[in-house]
């Protein structure tokens, strides 16, 4: 089978052929005839429309394209079906699917996602610019319009709070942005306190981005009415996906920012944020729909951007408006609307044909760069696989000799009860809550029950052999029997994260992940479940179908031990992300994130009930 080219040539190089096709002198390579066009520019639904494509770009849009048809033109009869622009994800971390880019493309193209703006800050925290370059090179082999951002926060905040595998600063940002037009800008600037208070590295990275003529994305989790949001916007950051309420959307729009409304696998924000449109009636030009992080299971069961658009429509958004939020608005935000985001002459032919009602967003055919790549939910296009080098497959610099004693948690008392800070998981949201609960101490060590509310959480540094290790307490997981999970997917530094209620099982889970050179291991009374992630300890080398099955097995193993969290793996993977409130754990200790800033804090509060010590004989 001849493999098609998915080249996306510059508009300037295509002008002669496009004009020749439009006037009928050069036959179109592809024609879509007789469909109902979703015009996201005018907001209209136009019946009986046809499209002529020359190579990768659209040459003609109108009622009659018969003059563009030649002997070898491929003709697709739309028969009245809706024809819409390919869907775009305006903020996504591919690594969160645990798939490499090739498999991600295979997973999302059939459901209508033809492009996205990807922030590979997961692999960048492990491998630095080398990791970013690998993902960029792989993305260029796929049919997708895959634009990459440079990770802005490697580490996510200052090095005193965590240890990461690499460093990216202003010079690295400038270098990466010179790699081509598909290097679109600066990824989410999570160190928002650093920006507001003038951190030289953060300011320098934004300046390097603006000097390159690119855009900077944001990540601001303080309150919507906090005075520091305008200060953050003044830096040149012009988009933000950390909107969880309609007020968050309102304040960002008023400051000229793009408000990205997120529907990931473990955080469900669209139902609330979309009220800025449906209840308040605000202008939607700068509203975008995004996924941020979606698991392989979610992609297989629910879909990708098609799912998010359907959800927005179900919340009361007009179908055309919802499509705008996932096409033209996104393209305009990143300055590429003359290439993608709308079905207009000159644009790249990224097109989807829909079965049924527009509101159903049921994709029957996907066309990318002028090529039919998927039909009826299945990929039809093929392209070469991409192989990662050994350097990217051996990134866990730890010995598989973790002992239960390494996971003990020493207390400042010998026996009794002491107050402690607990990282409490928030269902379906990225934030955690800081709770204060009494915990039991025996022989100077904190004891957790295998059926209790509180588990242990540990982070072991895995990049630089520092020996750093921190242990704390976490609640809200729901284990009702002995269980442990270990993983090298631990945003954003991706050290080894271990959670459980039994030290021996925690040690075993951690050692299994080390021996796999990255991945996930769940150890329960029922047995062991492993999910190898060899690429930087983040992504699998397997097909997306295998990845989805292995991810589902992890979920099932956690549920069998009583964990009731929705998408527990993804939720737990954020417990080391030290830039989102309120409490997290890094390899350097317990970290509090609040309106006052980010700081290391002690685990223990005060003694609540101390067991009396027997009096000595001379008293």
d(CA 1, CA 202): 49
DSSP codes, 5-39: P-----HHHHHHHHHHHHHTSS--SEEEEEEEEEE
CB atoms within 10 A of CB 50: 24
d(CA 231, CA 54): 46
Residue pointed to by tokens 């207390």: 411
- Environment class of residue 13 by beta-carbon count within 10 Å: exposed (0-12), middle (13-18) or buried (19+)? exposed
Q: Are 576 and 490 in contact (CB under 8 A)?
A: yes
Q: Are 562 and 140 in contact (CB under 8 A)?
A: no
CB atoms within 10 A of CB 81: 20
Q: Is the dihedral of CA 578, 583, 584, 586 positive or negative?
A: positive
Alpha helices in 326-431 (DSSP H): 328-333
List pLDDT tens digits, range 329-359: 999 999 999 999 999 999 999 999 999 999 9
Q: Which residues contact 534 (CB under 8 A, 6 or more apart)?
A: 393, 516, 517, 518, 519, 540, 541
d(CA 324, CA 40): 5
Q: How far is CA 273 from the centre of its chain?
A: 18
Weakly modelled stretches of the chain, pLDDT under 50: 1-2, 608-619
Tokens of 147: 């634009």
pTM of this structure? 0.93
Q: Are 560 and 526 in contact (CB under 8 A)?
A: yes
Query: If we measure between CA atoms, which residue out of 206, 196, 121 comes closest to residue 170?
Result: 206
CB atoms within 10 A of CB 391: 12
Q: What angle do CA 334, 337, 339 make, to 5 degrees?
A: 110
Q: Are 75 and 33 in contact (CB under 8 A)?
A: yes
Q: Which residues contact 376 (CB under 8 A, 6 or more apart)?
A: 364, 365
What are 422's strand-pairing partners?
Answer: 435
Q: What angle do CA 464, 504, 459 make, to 5 degrees?
A: 30
Within the chain, all domains assigned CATH 3.20.20.140 are found at: 86-341
Q: Look at the chain and count its residues.
A: 619
Please identify, in words, the CATH class of the domain defined by 86-341.
alpha beta
Going edge to edge, which strands form the sheet with 215-218? 87-92, 113-118, 145-150, 183-189, 215-218, 237-243, 258-262, 287-290
List pLDDT tens digits, range 412-430: 999 999 999 999 998 877 8
d(CA 85, CA 235): 33
CB atoms within 10 A of CB 431: 17
């Amino acid at each position: 089978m001849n493999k098609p080219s998915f080249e996306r040539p510059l508009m300037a190089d295509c002008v002669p052929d496009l004009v020749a096709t439009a006037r009928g002198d050069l036959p179109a390579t592809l024609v879509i005839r007789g469909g109902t066009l979703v015009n996201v520019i005018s907001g209209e639904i136009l019946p009986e429309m046809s499209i002529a494509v020359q190579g990768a770009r659209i040459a003609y849009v109108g009622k009659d394209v018969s003059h563009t048809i030649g002997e070898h033109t491929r003709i697709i009869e739309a028969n009245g079906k809706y024809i819409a622009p390919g869907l775009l994800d305006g903020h996504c971390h591919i690594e969160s699917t645990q798939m490499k880019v090739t498999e991600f493309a295979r997973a999302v193209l059939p459901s209508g996602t033809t492009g996205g703006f990807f922030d590979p800050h997961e692999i960048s925290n492990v491998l630095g610019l080398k990791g970013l370059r690998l993902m960029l090179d792989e993305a260029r082999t796929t049919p997708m319009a895959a634009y990459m951002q440079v990770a802005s926060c490697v580490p996510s905040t200052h090095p005193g709070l965590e240890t990461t595998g690499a460093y990216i600063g202003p010079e690295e940002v400038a270098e990466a942005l010179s790699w081509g037009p598909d290097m679109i800008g600066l990824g989410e600037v999570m160190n928002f306190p650093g920006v507001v208070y003038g951190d030289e590295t953060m300011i320098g990275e934004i300046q390097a981005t603006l000097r390159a003529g690119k855009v900077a994305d944001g990540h601001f989790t303080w309150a919507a009415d906090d005075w520091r949001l305008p200060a953050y916007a003044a830096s040149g950051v012009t988009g933000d996906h950390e909107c969880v309420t309609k007020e968050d959307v309102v304040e960002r729009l008023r400051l000229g920012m793009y408000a990205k409304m997120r529907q990931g696998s473990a955080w469900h924000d669209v139902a609330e944020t979309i009220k800025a449109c449906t209840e308040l009636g605000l202008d939607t030009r700068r509203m975008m729909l995004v996924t941020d992080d979606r698991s392989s299971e979610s992609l297989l069961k629910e879909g990708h951007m098609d799912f998010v658009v359907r959800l927005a429509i179900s919340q009361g958004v007009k179908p055309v408006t919802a499509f705008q939020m996932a096409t033209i608005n996104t393209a305009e935000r990143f300055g590429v609307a003359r290439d993608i985001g709308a079905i207009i002459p000159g644009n790249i032919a990224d097109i989807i044909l829909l079965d049924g009602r527009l509101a159903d967003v049921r994709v029957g055919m996907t066309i990318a760069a002028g090529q039919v790549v998927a039909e009826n939910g299945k990929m039809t296009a093929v392209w070469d696989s991409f192989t990662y080098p050994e350097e990217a497959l051996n990134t866990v610099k730890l010995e598989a000799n973790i002992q239960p004693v390494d996971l003990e948690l020493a207390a400042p008392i010998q026996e009794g009860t002491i107050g402690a800070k607990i990282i409490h998981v928030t269902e379906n949201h990225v934030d955690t809550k800081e709770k204060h609960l009494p915990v039991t101490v025996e022989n100077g060590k904190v004891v957790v029950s295998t059926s209790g509310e509180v588990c242990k959480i540990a982070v072991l540094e895995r990049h630089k052999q520092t020996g750093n290790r921190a242990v704390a307490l976490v609640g809200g997981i729901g284990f009702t029997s002995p269980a442990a999970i270990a993983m090298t997917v631990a945003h954003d530094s991706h050290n080894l994260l271990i959670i459980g209620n039994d030290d021996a099982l925690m040690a075993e889970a951690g050692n299994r992940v080390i021996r796999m050179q990255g991945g996930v291991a769940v150890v329960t009374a029922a047995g062991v479940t492993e999910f190898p992630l060899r690429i930087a300890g983040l992504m699998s080398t397997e097909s997306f179908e295998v990845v989805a099955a292995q991810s589902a097995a992890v979920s099932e193993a956690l549920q069998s031990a009583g964990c009731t969290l929705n998408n527990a793996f993804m939720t737990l993977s954020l417990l080391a992300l030290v830039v989102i409130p309120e409490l997290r754990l890094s390899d350097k200790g317990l970290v509090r994130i609040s309106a006052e800033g980010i700081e290391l804090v002690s685990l223990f509060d005060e003694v609540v009930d101390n067991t009396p010590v027997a009096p000595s004989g001379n008293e």
